[in-house]
Structure 1
Amino acid sequence: MEQRPNYITPAGLAALRAEYEQLFATERPALVETIAWAAGNGDRSENGDYIYGRKRLREIDRRLGWLSKRMKAAKVVDPARQEDRGRVWFGATVTIVDENERERMVTLVGDDETNAGKGLVGWNSPVARALRGAGVGDLRRVTLPAGEKEYEVTLIVYPTD
């Protein structure tokens, strides 16, 4: 099975790298020190600092492994360098209007950068898949959990250098 590319913006990769560095260089060493101190206190079976510390250390190590894999698989795409600015591609900020004339603005970003509250939609989400390649004035139908919706693309904007 061929794996999809993990597209990500430069800012998204920087955020993943910053989280990795914070966990690896700051949080993990402090936690290891706490666990060592707690282990020296004797009975580990009822030692909350030791038990919680070991649990949190496993969580951090899992997250570090996941972040490492995502960064290795990342294909950085700078939306400011998009040549075809008349169509919706990775990194575009798109204004769409639904059948009820409700306007919504979404930015197509990497799946690791999504944040619905800020209008950041993952590249492989149903909305992003429906909008890919659309131009201003195009109608696109999206199947969402709440049912089908039709959107009209009214504006496409890309960041500048």
Structure 2
Amino acid sequence: MSETKPRFITPDGLKRIRQEYEELFGIERPKVVEVVSWAASLGDRSENADYLYGKKRLREIDRRLANLAKIMKAAKVVDPTVQTDRDQVRFGATVELADEDDNRRTLTIVGDDETDASAGMIGWSAPIARALIGAKVGDERIVRLPAGEKSYEIISISYPSA
């Protein structure tokens, strides 16, 4: 029997996952069930697009609900607003970095289940996040990426306020 490892997550991340679960379970799934029931009542199901699509969508929803339930069950909420060691990069920190060419980017270290690269939210187990953990402003960290090594200087570190 495999033991589930804790899945670190911010309070906001857990809230978003709960909202998605409630929306799928309470709103979308009942609508799809209604369409499938209606389509099934029409008789021949072999060429009934509403029925076939509905059954497929139900499987997708149920898979996602199971995944979300698993995440919520194993979630270990880490609140970055109560971080006391605010001069170091830790879980929940927003970090401004500069590379060798002074190209700047801002990243927030979050749980692996709440990553969104387009919003600058990276999972704490990502190579760049692991390299940044423990760093202070002015420190330089080398990150090993598939394209090779890249050096970053920490420009600023901030945490959300309570």
Aligned to 2:57: 56
- Paired residue type of 1:84: D
Gaps of 5+ in 2: none
In the TM superposition, 1:74-113 aligns within 5 A as: 74-113=75-114
CA distance in 1: counterparts of 2:41 and 2:147, whole angstroms? 55
Q: Which deviates more from structure 2 when the two are superposed, residues 135-144 or residues 15-24?
A: 135-144
Query: What is the CA deviation profile of residues 83-116 of structure 1, one whole-angstrom value per residue up to 9, with x for unaligned ones?
Result: 1111000000001111111111100011111111
CA distance in 1: counterparts of 2:10 and 2:22, whole angstroms? 18
CA distance in 1: counterparts of 2:75 and 2:135, whole angstroms? 25
- Paired residue type of 2:76: K
Query: What is the CA deviation profile of residues 89-144 of structure 1, one whole-angstrom value per residue up to 9, with x for unaligned ones?
Result: 00000011111111111000111111111111111111100000111111111111
Cα gap change, 1:151/1:74 in structure 2, threshold over 3 Å: closer, same or farther?
Answer: same
CA distance in 2: counterparts of 1:70 and 1:2, whole angstroms? 13
Using the size of structure 1 for normalisation, the TM-score is 0.97
**Correspondence 1:129 to 2:130:** yes
Aligned to 1:153: 154
Cα gap change, 1:83/1:105 in structure 2, threshold over 3 Å: closer, same or farther?
Answer: same
CA distance in 2: counterparts of 1:60 and 1:116, whole angstroms? 24
Cα gap change, 1:68/1:48 in structure 2, threshold over 3 Å: closer, same or farther?
Answer: same
Aligned CA RMSD, in angstroms, stands at: 1.2
SS in 1 for 2:16: helix
Gaps of 5+ in 1: none
CA distance in 2: counterparts of 1:20 and 1:54, whole angstroms? 19
> How many residues of Structure 1 are paired with residues of Structure 2 in the alignment?
161
CA distance in 2: counterparts of 1:149 and 1:66, whole angstroms? 34
After TM superposition, give the deviation of residue 3 of structure 1 in Å.
5.2
After TM superposition, give the deviation of residue 2 of structure 1 in Å.
6.7
Contact in 1 for aligned 2:140/2:151 (Cα 8 Å): yes
After TM superposition, give the deviation of residue 5 of structure 1 in Å.
2.6
- Paired residue type of 2:111: G
CA distance in 1: counterparts of 2:4 and 2:43, whole angstroms? 48
**Correspondence 1:20 to 2:30:** no
CA distance in 2: counterparts of 1:3 and 1:89, whole angstroms? 23
Contact in 1 for aligned 2:4/2:74 (Cα 8 Å): no
**Correspondence 1:70 to 2:71:** yes
Q: Which deviates more from structure 2 when the two are superposed, residues 113-122 or residues 13-22?
A: 113-122
CA distance in 1: counterparts of 2:3 and 2:70, whole angstroms? 16
SS in 1 for 2:141: strand
